[in-house]
């Protein structure tokens, strides 16, 4: 009302018709504010049937936007929630319009068909969100060629192709934005060491930002968005195991950050935006509203270098036990391992067991005793995997848990039969992990734990750890 009064008082001797005109202009301005900045805009969002893509779609739908749901899931998945049709119902309930399209971003024809439908239905495309992505956190030798092809074609190639096909329409739009859900390009080797193929594929998406932002500067804004912390989605649930959701934020934070980017002018381009940083700049102060478990320490996301000491202090303030503070003892012991058991002089060349097997009563020995006592036929039947542990430090050496053979077993030395998963870490971290003081997800993401082999079986073991925690 203050704005209306101002307009009417600028010229106190306005005629009645001029005052009516002012009222109409005021109502139009107010309606624009109520309806939102993306009202009537068309957003083409890949992977929008669930997770981050759907959250961004719902945020725009509240403005009255048109959403093209370009995703693969047309029928319910056996484990993952949502289809393009259930997402469409949610979008329309939120106030938007929805066009569900079956799209595998690896298939150019499907992208072209969906773009044509979008243009025919809504008259053009204003925003493209490249969210669809594939992930396999496996090492070079453990990543099957078909997995490499999947990540490269869905992440890098899919982003490039979808952008290329949408660009003719984006260039005609007054808004004209491309937003890739991809990280800043961090060349720290730690982000390549454990999952080289995945990192290459995600950085490919980010390189599209670098190239296209410059190529289409002034015509189309091209930016990347990445979370400061882990985001709780179905994928994170599978990767992180039980309890990981408490260490995550909700998809709402990325939706809000995406909205801020997409409502900026075209000259905001070529940026690698971190959600929390942007929202702080926009005036957001309370980030607990985004947390799945407010007050609980949060996992930093991949590709962001977080100062370990700072992170440890934050986690300890919330009663967590961070993996970063092992002190001088670990710094010295991390270089020790099976080699220290080699004999000198005339005994060299003979076979020797590791010291860990000769000692009794150490933390690792006691942990394996408890694990062995907890194994039963039901656990073996549900897991069906053989795990080998390469431990460094005190009680370092090779250990195993056999949850495939009849009755199961656990102990020191090489495991019987074929190994499905190899986990390497310090002996102190191993004890912490099985006693519940160290989350396997945090250990893996911080580089304290390396995993080779069947990642699905590794996740199964993590879920099983909860049963051991109470006994350790």
Active site residues per annotation = 198
Listing DSSP states for 383-397 in one string gives H-EEEEEEEESTT-E
Residue with tokens 């009417």: 8
Q: What is the DSSP letter of 305?
A: -
What region, left, alpha or beta, does residue 457 occupy, with left being phi > 0 and alpha being psi -120 to 50 degrees? alpha
What region, left, alpha or beta, does residue 262 occupy, with left being phi > 0 and alpha being psi -120 to 50 degrees? alpha
CA distance 6 to 263: 27
Q: How far is CA 402 from the centre of its chain?
A: 31
Q: Is the Cα torsion angle 211, 217, 221, 226 positive or negative in sign? A: positive
Tokens of 247: 């260490």
CA distance 97 to 93: 9
CA distance 237 to 445: 15
Q: Could you tell me which of 461, 467, 378 has the C-alpha nearest to residue 419?
A: 461
Beta bridge partners of residue 411, listed in sequence order: 400
CA distance 89 to 176: 26
Q: Could you tell me which of 158, 138, 163, 160 has the C-alpha nearest to residue 148?
A: 138
Helices (H), 62-184: 84-93, 108-122, 145-151, 158-170
Q: Calculate the alpha carbon distances from 459 to 241, 262, 426 in Å.
A: 6, 36, 19
Q: Look at residue 225 and give its three-state secondary structure.
A: strand
Which stretch of DSSP H or E encloses residue 399?
strand 397-403
Rg for the chain (alpha carbons), in Å?
27
Check if the beta carbon of residue 355 is closer than 8 Å to that of residue 339. no
CA distance 453 to 440: 16
Helices (H), 1-157: 2-10, 16-35, 51-61, 84-93, 108-122, 145-151
Residues contacting residue 463 through CB under 8 Å, at least 6 positions apart:
241, 242
């Amino acid at each position: 009302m203050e704005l209306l009064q101002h307009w009417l008082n600028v010229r106190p001797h306005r005629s009645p018709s001029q005052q009516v005109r002012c009222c109409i202009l005021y109502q139009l301005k107010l309606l624009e504010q109520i309806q939102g900045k993306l009202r009537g805009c068309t957003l083409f969002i890949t992977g929008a049937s669930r997770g981050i893509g759907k959250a961004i779609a719902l945020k725009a739908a509240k403005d009255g936007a048109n959403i093209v749901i370009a995703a693969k899931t047309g029928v319910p998945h056996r484990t993952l929630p949502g289809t393009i049709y259930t997402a469409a119902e949610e979008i329309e309930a939120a106030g938007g319009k929805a066009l569900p399209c079956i799209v595998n971003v690896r298939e150019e024809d499907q992208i072209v068909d969906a773009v044509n439908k979008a243009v025919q239905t809504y008259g053009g495309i204003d925003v493209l969100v490249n969210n669809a992505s594939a992930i396999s956190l496996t090492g070079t030798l453990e990543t099957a060629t078909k997995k490499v092809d999947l990540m490269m074609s869905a992440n890098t190639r899919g982003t490039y192709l979808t952008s290329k096909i949408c660009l003719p329409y984006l260039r005609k739009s007054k808004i004209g934005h491309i937003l890739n859900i991809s990280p800043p390009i961090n060349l720290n080797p730690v982000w390549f060491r454990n999952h080289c193929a995945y990192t290459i594929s995600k950085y490919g998406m980010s390189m599209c930002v670098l190239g296209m932002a410059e190529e289409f500067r002034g015509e189309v804004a091209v930016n990347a968005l990445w979370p400061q912390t882990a985001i709780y989605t179905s994928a994170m649930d599978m990767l992180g195991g039980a309890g990981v959701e408490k260490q995550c934020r909700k998809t709402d934070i990325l939706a809000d950050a995406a909205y801020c980017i997409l409502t900026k002018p075209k000259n905001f381009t070529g940026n690698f935006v971190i959600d929390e940083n942007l929202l702080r700049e926009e005036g957001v102060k309370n980030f607990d509203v985004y947390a799945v478990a407010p007050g609980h320490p949060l996992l930093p996301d991949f590709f962001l270098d977080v100062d370990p000491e700072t992170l440890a202090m934050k986690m300890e303030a919330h009663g967590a036990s961070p993996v970063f503070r092992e002190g001088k003892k670990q710094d010295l012991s991390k270089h020790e391992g099976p080699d220290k058991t080699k004999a000198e002089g005339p005994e060299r060349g003979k076979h020797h067991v590791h010291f860990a097997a000769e000692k009794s009563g150490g933390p690792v020995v006691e942990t394996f005793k408890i694990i062995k006592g907890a194994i039963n036929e039901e656990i073996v039947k549900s897991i069906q995997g053989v795990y080998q542990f390469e431990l460094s430090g005190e009680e370092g050496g090779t250990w195993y848990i056999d949850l495939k053979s009849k009755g199961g077993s656990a102990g020191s030395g090489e495991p019987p039969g074929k190994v499905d998963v190899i986990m390497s870490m310090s002996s102190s971290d191993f004890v912490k992990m099985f006693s519940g003081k160290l989350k396997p997800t945090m250990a893996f993401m911080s580089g304290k734990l390396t995993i080779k082999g069947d990642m699905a079986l590794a996740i199964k073991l993590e879920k099983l750890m909860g049963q051991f925690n109470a006994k350790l």
